[in-house]
């Protein structure tokens, strides 16, 4: 029986010959020694005949050796630590949002907004008023209404009735000239004010000497001279529970259209509400041609009424300031400047 010829072209030894192309594709496997012995022998045969395949094999071997050397590299310890360190909330957030890949303009915008917010928060939170008061010259910006000598509190202990003592203080901004006097503070006779206040007996007004600021005795030692000023409310002793320097002063500005007429009405109203002048100038003192000066004390209960009265003539801007002078309980001290509104 005749043997059927094989469809695959075989060599005369019965082996299948490998083409150079196929051998080239098997070179990597040949290099790794993953071919069976028959295939490996076939590749070897082709390599012997084709120099370019030999060159390719040499390249594969060279690259393999080179890469095995690269694989022996050791990363710095800190690099490994950084890769392995736990994430913070911020880093997780940045990674989740892919912040690094956002457009540069948006990132800059966000960063600028954050800086602006921080700036605004600082601007709002910082107690600028106190800082300015501390930083700037106090003589240049504040009006010294009175100076209280805390060391002279013994005067209260001696039985003297503590009174408002604004009159004894020197006011640099009031521009008052000291009244001529031939008496001294030692000559002042202290009237029995509580009795006057309760009985309502009018006492003839006594012209008290005005002591120059430099020689001002402790405020507690000075007295109020008029009967009007001797209302019971004025006799309430200063709140001793408050520490020195915890007092307050209401300072404000009111702009009106007719200063002369309005000034008189304001004086009337202040007096009607039980207010009385403080300092050395009369209520409504013409500080300049276009402004009047009202420095007075009044019952705190009447404060709102006064403000609503003033609001009828303009927009009073009054703010409460800390002041070393401590007022008696229920009494507030105000300095209001009424100015002619610009037309």
Partner 1 sequence: MNENDVRAIALFFFYALLDDQMAIEAGARALNLAKDKKRKRPELANAVALVQSTFEIWQKEEPEARRMSMVRSLNPGWSLPDGTDLSPWREFHKQSDSDEIVIVIWSKILGIPEAEIANALELPEGTVRYRVGHALRRLGELTSSRPNIV
Place of tokens 């039980």: 274
Per the DSSP assignment, residues forming a β-bridge with 323 are 247
Could you say which of 17, 20, 29, 240 contacts partner 1 (CB under 8 A)?
A: 29
Q: Is 96 in the site for partner 1 (CB under 8 A)?
A: no
Q: Is 177 in the site for partner 1 (CB under 8 A)?
A: no
Name the minimum Å distance from CB 102 to partner 1. 13
- Which of 25/41 has CB closer to partner 1? 25
Q: Is 70 in the site for partner 1 (CB under 8 A)?
A: yes
Q: Is 107 in the site for partner 1 (CB under 8 A)?
A: no
- Which of 22/63 has CB closer to partner 1? 63
Q: Is 274 within 8 Å of 299 (Cβ atoms)?
A: yes
Could you say which of 17, 21, 48, 80 contacts partner 1 (CB under 8 A)?
A: 80
Q: Is 56 in the site for partner 1 (CB under 8 A)?
A: yes
- Eight-state DSSP code of residue 169: S
Residue 201: both structure tokens together: 């007996």
- Strands 317-323, 247-256: pairing is antiparallel
CA distance 220 to 238: 10
- Which of 87/268 has CB closer to partner 1? 87
At 244, give phi and psi (nearest 5°): -60, 140
Name the minimum Å distance from CB 15 to partner 1. 24
H helices of 178-280, in order, are: 193-199, 259-272
Q: Is 64 in the site for partner 1 (CB under 8 A)?
A: yes
Q: Which range, of 73-81, 175-183, 200-208, 213-221, touches partner 1 by CB under 8 A?
A: 73-81
Q: Which helix (H) or strand (E) holds 170?
A: none
Q: Which range, of 22-30, 42-50, 121-129, 203-211, touches partner 1 by CB under 8 A?
A: 22-30
CA distance 47 to 53: 6
Q: Which range, of 62-70, 209-217, 251-259, 310-318, touches partner 1 by CB under 8 A?
A: 62-70
Q: Is 66 in the site for partner 1 (CB under 8 A)?
A: yes
- Which of 84/157 has CB closer to partner 1? 84
- Which of 64/260 has CB closer to partner 1? 64
CA distance 304 to 298: 11
- Which of 75/204 has CB closer to partner 1? 75
CA distance 319 to 226: 30
**287 three-state secondary structure:** strand
Q: Is 25 in the site for partner 1 (CB under 8 A)?
A: yes
Q: Is 35 within 8 Å of 23 (Cβ atoms)?
A: no
Name the minimum Å distance from CB 61 to partner 1. 7
Place of tokens 């100038």: 281
- Which of 99/156 has CB closer to partner 1? 99
Name the minimum Å distance from CB 57 to partner 1. 9
CA distance 257 to 251: 20
Which is nearest to 338 in space by CA: 295, 297, 292?
Answer: 292
Name the minimum Å distance from CB 6 to partner 1. 27
Could you say which of 15, 16, 52, 59 contacts partner 1 (CB under 8 A)?
A: 59
Q: Is 76 in the site for partner 1 (CB under 8 A)?
A: yes
- Strands 247-256, 331-340: pairing is parallel
Residue 100: both structure tokens together: 């690094």
Q: Which helix (H) or strand (E) holds 297?
A: strand 291-299
Residue 124: both structure tokens together: 């709002």
- Which of 55/150 has CB closer to partner 1? 55
**15 three-state secondary structure:** coil
- Which of 71/204 has CB closer to partner 1? 71
Q: Please give the residue ranges that form the binding site for partner 1 (CB under 8 A).
A: 25, 27-29, 56, 58-76, 78-80, 82-85, 87, 95
């Amino acid at each position: 029986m005749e043997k059927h010829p094989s469809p695959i072209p075989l060599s005369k030894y019965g082996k299948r010959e490998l083409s150079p192309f196929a051998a080239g594709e098997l070179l990597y496997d040949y290099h790794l020694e993953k071919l069976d012995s028959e295939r490996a022998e076939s590749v070897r045969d082709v390599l012997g005949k084709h120099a370019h395949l030999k060159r390719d094999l040499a390249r594969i071997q060279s690259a393999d050796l080179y890469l095995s050397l690269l694989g022996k590299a050791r990363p710095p310890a800190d690099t490994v630590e950084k890769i392995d360190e736990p994430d913070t909330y911020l880093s997780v957030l940045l990674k989740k949002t892919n912040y690094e890949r956002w457009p540069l303009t948006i990132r800059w915008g966000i960063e600028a907004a954050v800086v602006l917010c921080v700036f605004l928060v600082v601007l709002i939170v910082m107690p600028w008023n106190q800082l300015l008061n501390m930083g700037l010259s106090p003589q240049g910006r504040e009006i010294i209404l009175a100076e209280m000598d805390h060391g002279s509190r013994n005067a209260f202990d001696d039985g003297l009735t503590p009174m408002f003592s604004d009159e004894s203080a020197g006011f640099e901004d009031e521009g008052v000239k000291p009244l001529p006097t031939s008496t001294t503070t030692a000559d002042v006779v202290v009237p029995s004010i509580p009795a006057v206040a309760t009985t309502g007996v009018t006492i003839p007004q006594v012209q008290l000497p005005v002591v120059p600021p430099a020689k001002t005795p402790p405020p507690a030692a000075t007295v109020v001279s008029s009967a009007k000023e001797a209302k019971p409310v004025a006799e309430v002793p200063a709140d001793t529970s408050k520490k020195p320097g915890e007092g307050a002063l209401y300072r404000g500005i009111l702009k009106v259209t007719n200063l002369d007429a309005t000034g008189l009405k304001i004086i009337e109203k202040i007096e009607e509400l039980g207010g009385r002048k403080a300092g050395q100038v009369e209520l409504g003192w013409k500080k300049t041609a276009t402004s009047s000066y009202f420095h007075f004390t009044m019952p705190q209960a009447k404060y709102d009424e006064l403000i609503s009265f003033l609001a009828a003539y303009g927009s009073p801007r009054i703010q409460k300031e800390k002041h070393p002078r401590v007022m008696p309980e229920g009494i507030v001290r105000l300095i209001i400047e009424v100015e002619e509104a610009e037309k």
